[in-house]
Amino acid sequence: MEPLKQFTIHRFVPINVAGVDLSFTNASLWMAIAVLLVYGLVMAGTREHAMVPGRLQSTVEILHEFVASMIRDNVGAQGMRFFPAIFTLFMFILLANMLALIPAVSFSVTAQLIVNFFLAMTVIGVATVVGFKMHGLHFLKFFVPPGAPVALMPLLVPIEIISYVFRPISLSVRLFANMMAGHAMLDVFAAFVVMLGVVFGLAPLALTVALYGLEVLVALLQAYVFTILTCIYLNDAIHMH
């Protein structure tokens, strides 16, 4: 029983360019599938523009309004110009999380720390660029806690900077840890079902089914958490608080 074996990267098409490994792997495959599904779902759901929407159009409209409402509530009207990027981020993480729940054949992209770290670095990088573009060097005042005593500034400013630098780490590790732990637990309980047989395996089977339902909720929740934190970081950059 090796619950962590499911997270192993396998090269399908080895590619090496000037010593850089650019191989097409199982992670690459499932990321591509997630991107294609996001594109296909949105295109199919917005194709007809029916006054009385069908199920697919309703789903896309609900997801659209969900993300738009999240942006308006946490960033304000100025944040709506970032809607396409934030909506794409939310949909990619959501679809990647849901695809990872397909038994036996799927691969959890968001259980790979490097994937999440790249997404998080992109989010923080964009937020930082937006902050400097809108406020110039005045954006550096973001690292100065308002109302704090001047004597404590040499201590507080470095703490604020370190906190900001660690944002992509905390953002990526949160998603990674939740997805990895959940899938590992599913694998463990599923192995118990096989080992104990039909009669004695009923209890772990029930736990596996319950845990699977919980993992569906976690997949939704983690996509939401990643996206809302993205909105909060953009709000910091735009409004400086």
Q: What is the pLDDT of residue 147?
A: 80
Q: Are the C-beta atoms of 27 and 107 separated by less than 8 Å?
A: yes
Q: Compute the distance between CA of residue 234 and CA of residue 238 in angstroms, rounded to an integer.
A: 6
Reported residue count of the chain is 241
pLDDT tens, position by position, 71-105: 999 999 999 999 999 999 999 999 999 999 988 77
Question: What's the CA gap between 181 and 214, in Å, rounded?
Answer: 12
pLDDT of residue 208: 83
Q: Six-digit token pair at 91?
A: 């949909």
pTM, 2 dp: 0.91
Side-chain half-sphere CA neighbours of 112 within 13 A: 21
pLDDT for residue 50 is more than 90:
no
Give the domain ranges of the chain. 5-239
Distance CA 229, CA 207 (A): 32
* Res. 241 pLDDT band, cuts 50 70 90: low
Spatial distance between the Cα atoms of 228 and 74, rounded to a whole number of angstroms: 8
215 CB contacts (<8 Å, ≥6 apart)? 101, 182, 183, 186
Both tokens of 59, joined, read 């789903």
Q: Quickly state the pLDDT bin for 188 (edges 50, 70, 90).
A: confident
The type of residue at 226 is: F
Given a cut of 60, whether residue 1 has pLDDT beyond it is: no
Which DSSP string corresponds to 82-126? Answer: GHHHHHHHHHHHHHHHHHTTSTTT---GGG-HHHHHHHHHHHHHH
CA pair distance 230, 225, nearest whole angstrom = 8
pLDDT exceeds 80 at position 206: yes
- Note whether 175 and 222 are within 8 A (CB): yes
Burial of 175 (0-12, 13-18, 19+ CB in 10 A): buried
Q: pLDDT per residue over 126-178, tens digit each?
A: 999 999 999 999 999 989 888 888 888 889 899 999 999 999 999 999 999 99
pLDDT at 198: 66
Q: What is the pLDDT of residue 106?
A: 83
Lowest mean pLDDT among 19-28, 52-61, 111-120, 190-199: 190-199
The CA-atom distances, in angstroms, between 119 and each of 19, 114, 169 are: 24, 9, 11
Long-range contacts of 190-199 (CB under 8 A, 24+ apart): 191/1, 191/3, 195/1
